[in-house]
A and B are shown apart, each in its own frame.
Chain A
């Protein structure tokens, strides 16, 4: 059915591991989807070789996750695929909400200037995956094995053993660490007998991707109870290649197999788009959803990421975006553990940081679902009351919930933080690099970064010779004299967004989250903050800002 995209076929290749000899690898990733591929690229950029097993031989079939958030684009930029995602993706900032016949509310996600990436782009998941495959191959450290299906998993204290089925028959594989990125129906999770608990929603939704030339603006349109689809909700969203995502609520009683038939889908779409609308069906899917997660994402030597660890409703685009924050959080930790530069217990912080972040995603997407699908007469009364009021009463617009869109997690309670004001992902900002326009985040690199605001001060070069080096990044304000190719905060947005005054510093983790901040640089305090972020110190963290 898809006309705008043909899935590439990645050929099965026989691995020498299949010739016996008890193959053993430091890291095996199960699942070459968005999240598994991102993990492979992230680890490769840190010098860690991986074997990636996937039971298929191509990328995602159908557009699936289409909304990639600003934070995801920043992560993907670090992985080398952010630019093409931005270039190909459809940038949108405006959302409109309709109730019945009328628009009741609109919003602008990023009215602020001075950001490299927009709040969201819409892009079919297969593009992101295809570029990640290419990037993974480029690194030379990712052994991608298509048509390799895991059929047995055995977890031990010191590693994991797998049985893998291929077109040439089965072979055994062993690893020190296993990343389970094998999706919502994770085989690894099932094989280990782990509970996946949460809430199932009694509702069905139809996704119809259609190809059409239409002059709707590049906005997210959401209808509650529209005239063309009475009593239900509808969503219209633009993707690249003239593909439009249409999402129609069907109710629990709808028959998923019937609803997928073109003779059933086309009249529904014509009711929405108009009798005269010309479109081709690109991809149809009927889905139900659940909000649930594993109790823990780390199970000894097995680490769960993405949908294998947690599932949310699609409202808010928190599935794929949440999954990429998982790998962003995990990969640098795993790399340091593998290098012997951090204790194994650092990986427990993956759990401690991503479980609350996941709960936030589940909470938000559950609340959206409850608003979109009222469960009883009272909740419908309140939902409709909010929508009717929102047209004339500005206050009510903030109560309208058609999905609270994914924002990066703030790891405020993390034991890896050394000071108050730590935990957030570093906001991006424009600056001048050797006189040329540049962005802050790409200056950070893959390791720890000490960001000092103000050109003068202590020599920090010794930090770059540590076992886990800390690179220094000096940013000068526009008022200071420029030294060499220093970074200049020409617009003052670095100081403003990062809340930095001259002389103050930030220690930034490899995943671009802030680990500590202080008033004047002291090498031992910076080192102590790094060591805490590496899970090496266990004494109670300081809760105040470090005062020099």
Chain B
């Protein structure tokens, strides 16, 4: 049974979206990627249930098509 909650849960999605994008401002590609990685690690640790993170990972991967360089 799926453990990952996928119903809308954030009250102000636009505001949070903006904050995430804003955090990337002035960062190059590598730094931006590192920022995202830290965010993932912090949230994964907060969730504390590897199964939930794996479910999220599966959805993220399944909805992402391989680009031309990896195809």
Interface residues, chain A, CB within 8 Å of chain B?
377-378, 380-382, 384-386, 388-389, 393, 395-396, 399
Contact = CB atoms under 8 A, between A and B. Distances in A.
A79 to B, nearest CB: 40
B22 to A, nearest CB: 19
Contacts of B34: 381, 384-385, 388
A389 B36 contact: no
B38 interface: yes
A389 B38 contact: yes
A396 B36 contact: no
A380 B40 CA distance: 14
B30 interface: yes
Contacts of B30: 377, 380-381
A200 B33 CA distance: 27
Contacts of B41: 382, 385-386, 389, 396, 399
Interface string B44-69: 01000000000000000000000000
Given A388-B38, A389-B38, A381 B45 contact: no
A381 B42 contact: no
Contacts of A395: 45
A393 B41 CA distance: 11
A218 to B, nearest CB: 32
A395 to B, nearest CB: 5
Contact of A377 (B33, B35, B38, B40): B33
9 contacts: A378-B37, A381-B34, A381-B36, A384-B34, A385-B34, A385-B37, A385-B38, A388-B34, A389-B38
Contacts of B29: 377
A388 B29 CA distance: 17
Contacts of A396: 41, 45
Contacts of A389: 38, 41-42
A405 B62 CA distance: 35
Given A377-B30, A384-B34, A386-B37, 12 more contacts: A377-B29, A378-B37, A380-B30, A381-B36, A382-B37, A382-B40, A382-B41, A385-B35, A385-B37, A389-B42, A393-B42, A396-B45
Contacts of A384: 34, 37
A378 B70 CA distance: 14
The 4 A-B pairs with the shortest beta carbon distances in the complex, nearest first, are A385-B37, A381-B33, A385-B38, A382-B37
A384 B36 CA distance: 11
Contacts of A378: 33, 37
A231 to B, nearest CB: 13
Contacts of A385: 34-35, 37-38, 41
A385 B30 CA distance: 11
A396 B37 CA distance: 12
A351 B65 CA distance: 41
Contacts of B45: 395-396
A448 B35 CA distance: 56
Contacts of B40: 382
B35 to A, nearest CB: 8
Nearest to A383: B37
Nearest to A396: B41
Contacts of B38: 385, 388-389
A3 B14 CA distance: 69
Nearest to B46: A395
Contacts of A377: 29-30, 33
A392 B41 CA distance: 13
A386 B29 CA distance: 18
A381 B30 CA distance: 7
B53 to A, nearest CB: 13
A395 B45 CA distance: 7
Contacts of A386: 37, 41
Contacts of B36: 381
A390 to B, nearest CB: 10
A127 B42 CA distance: 46
B27 to A, nearest CB: 11
A389 B35 CA distance: 10
A386 B37 CA distance: 8
Nearest to A393: B42
Interface in B1-39: 29-30, 33-38
A333 B29 CA distance: 58
A380 to B, nearest CB: 8
B36 to A, nearest CB: 7
Among A380, A381, A386, the most chain B Cβ lie within 10 Å of the Cβ of A381
A386 to B, nearest CB: 7
B26 to A, nearest CB: 17
A389 B40 CA distance: 12
Contacts of B42: 389, 393
B67 to A, nearest CB: 12
Q: From B29, B40, B41, name the one whose CB has the most chain A CB atoms within 10 angstroms.
A: B41
